Amino acid sequence: MAGEQSEAQLQIRFVTKQEKYAVPDSPYAIQSSVQSAELNNLVNAILKETAPTIEKAVVFDFLVCGELLCTTLAEHLQQKGVSTEETLDIEYLERFPAPTPQDCLMHDDWVAAVHTHNNWILSGSYDNSIHIWSTKGQHKLAIPGHTSPVKAVSWVSFNGDQAVFASGSHDQSAMLWVWNVPRNSVDCVVTCRGHEKGVECLSVSADANRFATGSWDNNICLWSTSLSDEDNVPAKKRSKPDHGNTREPLTTLKGHREAVSGVQWMDFNTVVSSGWDHLLKLWDCELGGIKQEIAGNKAFFDVDWSPVNNSLITASADRHIRLYDPRSTESIVKTTFTSHTGWVQSVRWSKTRDTLFLSGGYDNQVKLWETRSPKTPLYELSGHEDKVLCCDWSNPSLLISGSSDNTLRIFKSKHAVENA
């Protein structure tokens, strides 16, 4: 009978965390050869009988043994080593809809950095400039100041009509800028100097009091975001006023043996960094020492931390994306996501959903992932004609990516923001 496993009968129960779609938990008998489409028809038929207020058919995804169903039930259970004898709980959730292209924002050179806040987008380009855009695609400002490609940008704070942001460049400096929103004018208030090679990455702490930069000099520097210079450097260190005052780092964290490719704050005292030396490092910013070190297989190109799910994701030279739980006492790599055909350059968690993230790679692809579907991304966001160098989320529904095709692309997705 083993050969007929694909036609075996299964007892299943449907469960969901989305109460408006709940159905009675009585068991159903189905063929084990069914796939998502047939399960979808079945749930919608039950809803039609039990929840007449839901007028339109809903498209669902199905979680079986904690992973999205992408094959037949029989194949899925076989891969998971689960018996077909017992009643199987199948969780269903409304499918995340396909993002649709909204805008293509043209630059004069490669777009290497992007960061969003509410309705505003910052981008950094290889033509040494920083740009401010609205999420509706309106170009507000092109900002000169750096003398080499801008590799990192981040909003620091918004206070009424004033916004502060930071930038990092291959000219070895980071700069703090103030944007007067009503006047649409920008001033560089502080120039941060402490790296001996180009700045590659930058991250602002949650309280917006400090930011961290990672560099090709293998070091991470921590800086104050204070705009006043009183407690930062002596007067003799101040440079000409058109680029603001010069500032030295609060702390320099040394330990990577090659370039620092990514840096993120995990809490007020902990920074995680990724390096070309195949290492992730968790730093104690107060003591200036390493809390934890995680060895990878290849050079890391990016790392992101989610406060929503307390996990790290990494982009790597071996085409794989890995999810790490730094608190785990067993295997620290929890999941490996494989779909890109080139180096993965950028990864970003959703800020509202604990199971969604974006990735961008040298295969010109931006992919939207669900952590419970490691073999297949939810969607591929096509449009870029060259390497994808950066990506970000703006509020729950806008996905943004920058490329060496000189464009910043905005995709929109309408979906419920509650955790599924």
pLDDT > 70: percent of the chain: 94
**Nearest residue to 116 via CA among 155, 158, 164:** 155
- Look at 68-72, 387-391, 406-410 and tell me which has the smallest mean pLDDT: 68-72
Q: Are 316 and 337 in contact (CB under 8 A)?
A: no
Q: If you ran DSSP here, which 8-state letter would residue 418 be given?
A: S
Q: pLDDT tier at 242 (50, 70, 90 boundaries)?
A: low
Query: Tell me: the pLDDT tens digits for 12-48?
Result: 999 999 999 999 989 999 999 999 999 999 999 999 9
Q: Report residue 80: phi and psi, to 5°.
A: -85, -5
Cβ neighbors of 119 (< 8 A, separation 6 or more) are: 134, 135, 136, 394
Note the CATH architecture for domain 2-94: Roll (3.10)
In this predicted structure, the answer to whether residue 2 has a pLDDT above a threshold of 70 is no
The pTM (predicted TM-score) of the whole model is 0.90
H or E segment at 356?
strand 356-361
3-state secondary structure of 102: strand
Q: pLDDT tier at 332 (50, 70, 90 boundaries)?
A: confident
Q: pLDDT tier at 8 (50, 70, 90 boundaries)?
A: confident
In this predicted structure, the answer to whether residue 413 has a pLDDT above a threshold of 70 is yes
pLDDT of residue 244: 75
Superfamily for the 100-412 domain: YVTN repeat-like/Quinoprotein amine dehydrogenase (2.130.10.10)
pLDDT of residue 97: 85
Euclidean distance between CA atoms 290 and 279, whole angstroms: 12
**Nearest residue to 305 via CA among 203, 410, 164:** 203
- Provide the residue ranges of all domains of the chain, joining segments of one domain with +: 2-94, 100-412
Euclidean distance between CA atoms 114 and 116, whole angstroms: 7
Q: Record the tokens describing residue 244, joined without a space.
A: 């603001």
pLDDT of residue 29: 94
pLDDT of residue 23: 94
In this predicted structure, the answer to whether residue 377 has a pLDDT above a threshold of 60 is yes
When pLDDT is averaged across residues 365-385 and rounded to a whole number, the result is 94
Query: Tell me: the pLDDT tens digits for 261-285?
Result: 999 999 999 999 999 999 999 999 9
- Look at 42-56, 159-173, 311-325, 353-367 and tell me which has the smallest mean pLDDT: 42-56
Mean pLDDT of the chain: 92
Euclidean distance between CA atoms 42 and 26, whole angstroms: 13
Residue type, 216: W
Question: Which neighbouring-strand residues pair with 117?
Answer: 120
In this predicted structure, the answer to whether residue 248 has a pLDDT above a threshold of 50 is yes
